[in-house]
Amino acid sequence: MQAATTDPAEEPPSMLWGLDPIFCAFAKLYVRDILQMTESTQVPGIYFYNSHPIYKVDVLGTVVCKREREDFFCYGVDDGTGVINCLCWKNDLLKEAGDPTKSRGKPSDGVLGGLSPVAELEKLRQAQLSRCHLEIGELLRVRGPVKTSRQQREITASVYYKVNDPVMAVQIAWMMEVPQLYRQCYDKPFKLQPNATGSVAINPLSKATNIIKDFVKQKSVSRFRPYDVQDLLQPLISSQPQTASADQQSVAGPSSCQQLRHLLKEALQVLQDEGIVYRKVKSQDEVYHVTAEDKDLLMAVKDIIREDSRREKYSEKGCHILHILSAVRQRHSLNVSKAALELVLKSLECNSDIVSTSDNHYTVF
């Protein structure tokens, strides 16, 4: 396969690659996408999938071809989307072993009538050999950097082993996990761009939401009012460049106080959308409750799940998240969002107060 390269104008600058978490991880990509990734023009050996810089991958597939040399195995791995060669270097144990079916020790070596250290070490050695020596049709997991050799894309394994999967539990879990990674990470393009000074540009709204998140985390507050955090956002308004005189600003645009109130309103709305805060009662006195710190909300959700799980309708699978949301809005507050409820359920599950029986069903022990 001819290696493709990206247009330099389309590549993110290499100094920003480390800001993409996928760059430092073993990306669980389909073989088809590994073969089609474009190679960087800035740094050879770095590839791009949907603008994400990638140089090491994690693949699970069936061995469909095999070549053995003195120093390495070359396995052709098929994951159902394509076949890629995996170069698996032999360790010293494999080089000395030759044929893994041959045993170097005897069970009688060592202490007679008791535990034989030599025999036990030989068992461990044979187990290690069996995990590293695969035949066609066996399942292989391999992790390592991607490279292009002789115009062919391949994986140089840093870790590889045979997977024993008689009931296909590992493969099913893999087939469920990888599509989620594509939806949540790989198919979302890497959009960080530098500003004129070379640093990453972060809009004031993102900064404002982070400031409020840090405030509620450090102070461990369960509720607050807008004026409690308004002064914390003042530097974001003061740091914005001023290009006009005070007289011109009064005519041309909003004052700094108006900008501050607008920024605070938008930041609080973002936090509500994320479920981090909510308003129990909407009134002129704006009080925002911190979802994770609201003990009354946590107790209400826990009581609902405990009570309703006893009903025959929910005894088998537990309560559906939409049922819990409806009950919470009736008993606690109409303004609890699904995002806020999900944070509460996650907190209760981490504390072992409840348990999830599926993606959307919950019950108690």
Q: Is residue 197 part of a domain?
A: no
Q: CB within 8 A of 185, min separation 6: which ones?
A: 21, 22, 52
* CATH code of the domain covering residue 328: 1.10.10.10
* Residues 98 and 138 grouped into a single domain: yes
78 CB-near residues (< 8 Å, 6+ apart): 31, 61, 62, 63, 64
Question: Is residue 319 located within the same domain as residue 286?
Answer: no
298 and 286 belong to one structural domain: no
**pLDDT of 44 strictly over 70:** yes
- What is the arithmetic mean of pLDDT over 248-268? 75
Question: Is 248 within the bounds of a domain?
Answer: no
Span 282-291, pLDDT tens digits: 888 889 999 9
284 with 300, same domain? no
User: Are residues 307 and 351 both part of a single domain?
Assistant: yes
Residues 136 and 262 in one domain: no
Are 49 and 159 found together in one domain? yes
Q: Give 196 or 338, the one with higher predicted confidence.
A: 338
Average pLDDT over residues 45-52: 91
Structure confidence at residue 196 (pLDDT): 44
**149 and 36, same structural domain?**
yes
Residue 199 forms part of a structural domain? no
Domain of residue 311 covers 294-363
Per-residue pLDDT tens digits for 295-312: 999 999 999 999 998 888
**Whole-number pLDDT of residue 250:** 43
**Where residue 86 sits, what CATH number does that domain have?**
2.40.50.140
Same domain, 57 and 37: yes
What is the identity of the amino acid at 160?
Answer: Y
pLDDT digits (tens, 9 = 90+) for 208-232: 888 998 888 888 889 999 988 888 8
The mean pLDDT of 255-281, rounded to a whole number, is 89
* pLDDT the model gives residue 47: 94
Helix/strand/coil (H/E/C) assignment for every residue in 113-136: CCCCHHHHHHHHHHHHHHHHCCCC
Q: Count Cβ atoms below 10 Å from residue 172 Cβ, excluding itself.
A: 11
Residue 247 inside a domain? The answer is no
How many domains in the chain?
3
For residue 115, what pLDDT is reported? 74
* Structure confidence by residue, pLDDT tens digits, 244-254: 444 444 444 56
Among 320, 220, 328, residue whose Cα is nearest residue 280: 328
Residues 85 and 163 in one domain: yes
Specify if 198 maps to a domain.
no
Tell which residue, 191, 153, 184, has the closest CA to residue 39: 153
Q: What is the CATH number of the domain that holds 273?
A: 1.10.10.980
Whether residue 80 contacts residue 172, with contact meaning beta carbons closer than 8 Å, is answered with no
Is 232 contained in some domain? yes
Burial 56-70 (b: 16+ CB within 10 A, else e): bbbbbbbbeeeeeee
Confidence of residue 172 (pLDDT cuts 50, 70, 90): very high
Any domain includes 143: yes
Is residue 18 located within the same domain as residue 93? Answer: yes
In the chain, beta strands by DSSP E = 4-5, 38-39, 47-49, 52-54, 56-68, 72-78, 83-89, 139-149, 152-156, 159-163, 223-224, 277-278, 288-290, 319-320, 355-356, 361-363
Percent of the chain with pLDDT over 90: 42
Give domain status of residue 196, yes or no: no
How confident is the model at residue 70, as a pLDDT? Answer: 82
Residues 286 and 331 occupy one common structural domain: no
Q: What is the mean pLDDT of residues 343-348?
A: 90
The residues, ordered by sequence, that sit 6+ positions from 241 with a Cβ below 8 Å of its Cβ are none
